[in-house]
Chains A and B, each alone.
Chain A
Amino acid sequence: MYRAEPVDIAVLKERAHDYRDQVERRLSGAMSEDHFKPLRLMNGLYLQLHAYMLRVAVPFGCYSAAQLRVLATISRRYDRHYAHVTTRQNFQFNWLKLSDTPEILDLLADYGLHAIQTSGSCVRAITVDPHAGFGRHEVGDPRWIAESIRRWTSLHPEFTFLPRKFKIAITGDETDRSAFRLHDLGIQLVKKDGEVGARIFAGGGMGRGPAIGLEVVAFSPIRDVLGWVEAILRVYNLAGRRDHLYKSRIKVLVASLGADAFRAEVHQAFADAGESRPVLSDAEYAATAAAFSRPDFAPDAAHDPAPALNPIQAHWAKRMAIAHVAPGYTGVMISLKRPGGIPGDIDADQMDGLADLAEQFSFGELRNTKEQNILLPHVRLRDLPALYDGLEPLGLTATNSGLASDIVSCPGMDYCNLASARSIPLSQVLSERLDRLGLDDELGPLSIKISGCVNACAHHHVADIGILGVDKTDTDYHQILLGGASDANASLARTISKALTTDQTADAVERVLRRYLQVRTDSEESFAACVRRLGLTPFKEAVDAAG
């Protein structure tokens, strides 16, 4: 896990100090909201429907038990005793008062946490494969290059006022869990002639007008990655549109220039930079890698007998355990999706309890996933029964990772002033329906993602079943989309329904699921594969067949 050095804390304390001064100027009236807004956004503070929302940056989704405890403290002292895991691996607090935020940032800084660049027209939090550092098939740990890029792009004098936000995702595995093809800039670590390097994509996006990115560099040595990032950002910063809020992302620039011309511009900018180009030296990269301390795995764990799991624990472990590179160890997914619950929310008691369990069973390390769940990366297999027994009273043993009831949902109109519809009530109706149907295991891997508007924060474009909130009247209306994927089979989901009410949507989704069970070749054919084989028609028919 990344260790904050004193210089890191010093940076954060100074930022928190500057921010306190800015808030005082705002509260006294010396600064207008118009001038304060970009400054507070640079510190991840949004003004939502009911209160201020703070988006805490969790670098690559990785954090410690101690950090989780301070988040629990903040939720109790300044918020409503819970926090929300976002689809970019961060945490959000939804009910803050502006006047409390300087103290909150100061407290976060003491624990190496901050909210810098979680908003605004700058490079945002970099997300990575949640199996980073322990996945069995990893070519390289994506967090090392992610941290190098994070430091280089943080408060960068050239790239702090981009045309719009800029999101980066990185994976070190051929099986992609980062959606790197669907980001403004995506990196996949690959091997070429024994050397680990970066395959670089640009121009993807999951928001309005989703786009699958294009490969800009097939293989870059690690030392040149920052140079490529600089080239892409510079081309975007100079040529990206600034006249229209919804036409300012890099994907629009790529579409207007065309793939070949865009690629040529980036390669030209890379070449033009010459000696000024940032170079990531071997020594520096190694130092960054060393800052991610590897836990002291017990060498004799390889000889542990199989864990003594009772049937319920065995069922849970089968679904929630993740293959680990260290013999005798496993990753464990903790689902924050309960029937009728709010996806991604975790309450203060759960946070404290989970922090204790992480300390006891996972070397104090935790990760957030973009599916709004939490992962314990390094659990000794023989500890699984004890871990389960610790999770059970916290209500954190939902056994649905990657299944239909593992619903991703944006906060929606309950919180967000950008939303067209509420998302949470639909996710609650659906999760209760799925629980009643008991079909999770039968359906197999299946992603349902609910966005409250076209900004698509729940990434519904790349879901098996994507749901989009649409503007109608006072009632919530939704449209169903099908066939999205963000992995190597990347595709954008397509609309298969007209606008439906929340209950109609839940009924239609149920009919789609039942249709899949009818038409799949066998239980081995996943929902995604079935849709690829048959197309949308059978499922569109199911949606339209309202009883």
Chain B
Amino acid sequence: MLLDETGLEAAPLTLDVLVIGDTTDLRSLAAEVSGAAAIALTFPAFRNGRAYSQAAVLRKMMGFKGLLIARGDILVDQVRLMREAGFNRFDVDDPARAAAVAAMLARPDPARWRQTGAHA
């Protein structure tokens, strides 16, 4: 099931999705990224946080504005961090987990200490 950033079920994708592995150097995919409308990043295990940085690079440095999809081992308690990191779609297979993820996304971002620097 594909959820959007507010926890609602999103329309199924009709676009081509550029799937990028967690160990891929994004600098080598500049052309593909600029032509993509949807990119999926992978969390092979919930402890593996490379994709958070890949999301940051895509959104902040490569100017990617399309759909950024989180796939893989996603813990309920991680999805708001993922959203803050730039993901706006969440691919969750297990229906029970999907419901919990949706409920978590419906909550606002976690309370933050006072902003320091530019939390872009």
* B-binding residues in A (CB < 8 A): 5, 7-8, 10-11, 14-15, 18, 22, 35, 38-39, 121, 148, 150-152, 154-155, 157-162, 226-227, 234, 237-238, 242, 272-274, 276-280, 284, 288
Q: How far is the CB of B47 from chain A (nearest CB, A)?
A: 6
Q: Which residue of chain B lies nearest to A152 when distances are taken between CB atoms in the complex?
A: B116
Q: How far is the CB of B60 from chain A (nearest CB, A)?
A: 4
| A14 and B108 alpha carbons, distance in the complex (Å) | 12
- Majority secondary structure of chain A interface residues (helix, strand, loop or mixed): helix
Among B81, B113, B118, point to the contact of A7 (Cβ < 8 A).
Answer: B113
Query: Chain B residues near A39 (CB, 8 Å)?
Result: 77
Q: How far is the CB of A146 from chain B (nearest CB, A)?
A: 12
Q: How far is the CB of A274 from chain B (nearest CB, A)?
A: 7
Q: Mark B36-71, 1 if CB is under 8 A from A, else 0.
A: 000000000011111011111100110000000000
Query: Chain B residues near A227 (CB, 8 Å)?
Result: 117
Q: Give 8 closest A-B pairs by Cβ, nearest first.
A: A161-B49, A278-B117, A276-B60, A157-B84, A157-B85, A151-B113, A11-B111, A226-B117
Query: Chain A residues near B60 (CB, 8 Å)?
Result: 273, 276
**Given A157-B85, A161-B48, A280-B116, 13 other A-B residues pairs in contact with their CB atoms under 8 A:** A22-B77, A38-B75, A121-B47, A158-B56, A160-B81, A161-B49, A237-B53, A238-B53, A242-B47, A242-B48, A273-B60, A276-B118, A280-B117
Q: Quick check: B61 and A276 within 8 Å, CB to CB? A: yes
Q: How far is the CB of B4 from chain A (nearest CB, A)?
A: 18
What total count of A-B pairs have CB within 8 Å? 103
Q: Quick check: B85 and A5 within 8 Å, CB to CB? A: no
Among B50, B75, B77, B111, point to the contact of A238 (Cβ < 8 A).
Answer: B50
What would 21 A/B residue contacts be, using CB atoms closer than 8 Å?
A: A5-B114, A11-B113, A15-B110, A18-B77, A148-B116, A151-B115, A157-B52, A158-B49, A158-B52, A158-B53, A158-B55, A159-B52, A161-B47, A161-B49, A161-B52, A161-B78, A242-B47, A242-B48, A242-B50, A273-B61, A277-B118
Q: Quick check: B53 and A152 within 8 Å, CB to CB? A: no
Q: How far is the CB of A282 from chain B (nearest CB, A)?
A: 13
| A161 and B85 alpha carbons, distance in the complex (Å) | 12
Q: Quick check: A238 and B84 within 8 Å, CB to CB? A: no
Query: Chain B residues near A226 (CB, 8 Å)?
Result: 116-117
Query: Chain A residues near B115 (CB, 8 Å)?
Result: 151
Q: Quick check: B49 and A151 within 8 Å, CB to CB? A: no
Give the bracket for the number of chain B residues in contact with chain A: 20 to 34
Query: Chain A residues near B50 (CB, 8 Å)?
Result: 237-238, 242
Query: Chain A residues near B53 (CB, 8 Å)?
Result: 158-159, 234, 237-238
- Tell me if B31 counts as interface (CB < 8 A to partner A): no
Q: Quick check: B116 and A278 within 8 Å, CB to CB? A: yes
| A150 and B77 alpha carbons, distance in the complex (Å) | 21
Q: Quick check: B117 and A14 within 8 Å, CB to CB? A: no
Query: Chain B residues near A161 (CB, 8 Å)?
Result: 46-49, 52, 78
Known: A161-B47, A276-B118. A8 touches B56 (CB 8 A): no
Known: A238-B53, A272-B61. A155 touches B114 (CB 8 A): no
